[in-house]
Amino acid sequence: MKMFMKRKIGMNIATIFTIVLVLNLLFGGICTKYCVNFYYNKYMQTDTGTGLTFFSFAIVGLFIGEVTIPVSVITYLIVRPLW
């Protein structure tokens, strides 16, 4: 009977992967949107932004979030005060 009981050891790998995926979508999307809108507004001399939705930035941030997260931190701390 014990072999049919479900053991609760902790979080399994699927739960951890889902948490990492959701955090990557969230932070990657936020940082990608910030970087694209910041540099678009600076180079195009507008204050309107790109007009794209957060969902599109989240999908792009899923793939390039590893680059845009540090770039957005550098942009916020170094580039923005100097510009």
- pLDDT tens per residue, range 36-75: 999 999 888 888 888 889 999 999 998 998 899 999 999 9
Q: Is 18 exposed, middle or buried (0-12, 13-18, 19+ CB in 10 A)?
A: exposed
pTM of the predicted model, to two decimals?
0.77
What's the mean pLDDT in 1-8? 58
pLDDT at 3 over 90: no
In terms of pLDDT, which residue wins out, 1 or 43? 43
Split into its structural domains, the chain has a count of: 1
The gap from C-alpha 16 to its chain's centroid, in whole angstroms, comes to 17
Q: Rounded to 5 degrees, what angle do the CA atoms 16, 27, 43 make?
A: 155
Does 23 reside within a domain? yes
pLDDT for res 46: 84
Does 7 reside within a domain? no
Amino acid letter, residue 79: V
Domain that holds residue 68: 13-82
Does 52 reside within a domain? yes
Does 70 reside within a domain? yes
* Residue 64 vs residues 4, 26, 59, 81, 82: alpha-carbon distances, Å: 43, 13, 9, 25, 25
Does 19 reside within a domain? yes
